[in-house]
Amino acid sequence: MGLATYADERMGRVYLVLVLVLGCSTARSEPTSTVATGAATASAAREGAVDAAGLRCRALPAVPDDAARSRDCSAPHNSDGTPKRSAPAPASERGTTVLFHLEDFGPPSMQLGVLGDAWWSWERGGSWEPCDQFDIRVVVHRGALDDATRARFATVRGRSDYRYIERGAATRYLDARIAELAEPAEAGADDLGSLRRRLELTRRTIDECVPR
């Protein structure tokens, strides 16, 4: 065997050993990389959930449009000239206030006397056209209602209508209505499951945005 051939074989063996060592090292490092990626994904998911919750506590979601009603009642204003959708509400302060739509507390027949009528608070009567819609907001606040909160979420005739309810009063009302809706329904009665779930969501949002 010539010297050159011997050297080539030795170099080939060294190269093979290096490939095997590097391959094993890469294989061993993959689980660590997978674990790190999984941890990063979980962390990002938690941060996303926190961001979503924080956004809900600051901003009032838009009212989902009823497709059939929107088609039949496409005019943007009510019969009295007021807009069906008020301007975006000011941001609420997490821990102090959180905003809802009147419908988040159930139909008027359920919450009458708690938050008022389902039409503008500056109007005495309820004689409206079938396509009229009233964008009424509810401010759930901690403690006594102060002037700053009332000014921030002000009722302005023809422009905005806010109702106010203290956190404890809101949760007591919701707990009572949710308990009523949890009772077995009579035969032939309407399924009120969707209403109960909406009230439960309102209750959870209050706990999260304006905790005890």
- Average of pLDDT values for 107-128? 87
**What is the separation of C-alpha 170 from the centre of its chain, rounded to a whole number of angstroms?**
18
Do 35 and 3 have their domain in common?
yes
List the one residue out of 131, 130, 110, 108 whose CA is nearest residue 121. 108
Percent of the chain's residues with pLDDT above 70: 68
Kindly state the tokens that stand for 110: 């359920």
Do 54 and 70 have their domain in common?
no
CA–CA distance, 98 with 210 (Å, rounded to integer): 7
Do 9 and 86 have their domain in common?
no
- Per-residue pLDDT tens over the stretch 34-62: 555 555 555 555 555 456 668 999 999 88
List the one residue out of 14, 22, 60, 39 whose CA is nearest residue 153. 60
- Average of pLDDT values for 135-144? 97
Instruction: Determine the structural domain holding residue 124 and report its residue range.
Output: 62-209
Do 54 and 117 have their domain in common?
no
User: Does residue 20 register a pLDDT over 60?
Assistant: no
**Parallel, antiparallel, or unpaired: how do β-strands 161-166 and 136-141 relate?**
parallel
Angle at CA of residue 102, ends 63 and 112, nearest 5°? 150
Do 143 and 194 have their domain in common?
yes
Of 112 and 157, the structure prediction assigns the larger pLDDT to 157
Contact 105, 174 (CB under 8 A): yes
Average confidence score pLDDT of the chain: 80
Helix (H, G, I), strand (E, B), or coil: what is residue 94? coil
Give the per-residue pLDDT at 184.
76
Do 118 and 91 have their domain in common?
yes
Phi-psi region of 106 (alpha: psi -120 to 50; beta: other; left: phi over 0): left
Do 49 and 101 have their domain in common?
no
CA–CA distance, 75 with 148 (Å, rounded to integer): 35
Do 149 and 180 have their domain in common?
yes
The set of residues, in sequence order, having a beta carbon less than 8 Å from that of 34 and lying 6+ positions away, is: none
User: Does residue 182 register a pLDDT over 60?
Assistant: yes
Name the domain boundary from 58, 85, 104. 58
Do 158 and 136 have their domain in common?
yes
User: How many domains does the chain contain in total?
Assistant: 2
Give the per-residue pLDDT at 11.
47
Do 82 and 54 have their domain in common?
no
For 36, what's the count of Cα atoms within 13 Å in the CB-facing half-sphere? 5
- What pTM does this model have? 0.73
- Average of pLDDT values for 144-149? 96
Give the per-residue pLDDT at 72.
78
